[in-house]
Amino acid sequence: MNRIDRLTGMILLLQSHRVITAEKIAAHFEISVRTVYRDLQALGEAGVPIIGEAGMGYSLMRGYHVPPVMFTENEAAALFLSGEVTEQIADESLREALRDALLKIRAVLPAEKRDYLNRLSRSVRVWLPVPSSGDEERQSLMPLQQAVVRKQCVALTYDAGRRGLVTDRLVEPLGVVFYGRQWHLIAHCQLRGAVRDFRLDRMDRWQVLEERFHGHDDFSMKDFLAEQIRAHEIIPMAIRFRQEVMERVRTECYSASLTECPLGDGWVRVEGLTSCTKWMASWVMGFGLDAEVEEPAELREEIRSLVGQMAGRYRLSEIFSPC
């Protein structure tokens, strides 16, 4: 990034924050704090009204705005693709907001760039195999995001693991994250007295309350998710797959750390971690004779048990009985 682009970006960064420190500006642009100070001085000399608050950071004088942003083709295309992904994984509360935003972006683009975006929209599609949320879609993402930002408590009825164990919870929302093909609300649960992970599709009812909560300023979503992985993906596994099914393995297996070792005989040894041998057994069985579990022993036993149960359900006498 050249200096002119960085200075322009710095104005936009200041405009999007009430107050921001020099250290955060430096981290955003991947430059030194000393360079930030020089850039801020240059902007001030150019007439940009930057205010420095001792011990707080920097901000733009209230009422100052830069002219409307003009997007490049690449920036407009990136926003379009983000909209296509959102259409697949978000609920209507987010989809509608993004559609309106993209419509406003199209409106300010010059004709040639608008034509470029129209051609792109006709030739690009995004499809993600995300499970349906049911016939009655819950429009929860936008309200829950707002509750996170505004620090509003949420009352919800939760069915943990879809086992019929339904409990009423009062939670303090800390973040919303998409992983494992599902949206999750990460929140401090007052019932459990700890941060918990709530899948949105298992929330039977929920309501954002007027009640506000305090604290959790040091909560890190990144650290929490890393800890979840360390706590749950604890069973090492090794499975042999035929080479021709490896593309499917890479697409479907969500283990945090997979390693592949070609065996030279048309097979590949895949090693990784899993937290649920029951699910893994069902998944491996879908490969039939194109897969063989080497370890752990409990995963082999789980598959052996499932095969026995299936053999009992589809008895040979039924298969070969006369019509």
Top pLDDT among 275 and 303 is at 303
Flag the least confident range among 146-150, 290-294, 316-320.
Answer: 316-320
Answer whether 3-60 and 233-313 agree in fold. no
150 has pLDDT over 70 = yes
Q: pLDDT: is 187 or 257 the higher one?
A: 187
Q: What is the pLDDT of residues 298-323, one digit of tens each?
A: 999 999 999 988 888 877 555 555 55
Lowest mean pLDDT among 38-47, 108-117, 289-298, 313-322: 313-322
**Domains of the chain, residue spans:** 3-60, 73-123, 141-230, 233-313
Q: What is the mean pLDDT of the chain?
A: 82
Q: Which residue has the higher pLDDT, 44 or 230?
A: 44
Segment 7-17, tens digit of pLDDT: 888 888 888 78
Overall CATH class of domain 3-60 = mainly alpha
Confidence of residue 172 (pLDDT cuts 50, 70, 90): very high
- Domain formed by 233-313, architecture: 2-Layer Sandwich (3.30)
196 vs 254, higher pLDDT: 196
Q: What percent of the chain has pLDDT over 70?
A: 86
What's the whole-number mean pLDDT along residues 36-47? 90
The fraction of the chain above a pLDDT of 90, given in percent, is: 28
Weakest-pLDDT range from 54-63, 113-122, 168-177, 188-197: 113-122
Fold of 141-230: SH3 type barrels. (2.30.30)
Tell me: pLDDT of 204 over 50: yes
The pLDDT of residue 102 is 78
pLDDT value at position 129?
58
Q: Out of 176-180, 236-240, 302-306, pick the least confident.
A: 176-180
Which stretch, 1-10, 170-179, 255-264, 311-320, has highest mean pLDDT? 170-179
Distance CA 280, CA 88 (A): 26
Contact by Cβ (8 Å): 285, 311 = no
Please report which confidence band the pLDDT of residue 135 belongs to, taking 50, 70 and 90 as the band edges.
very low
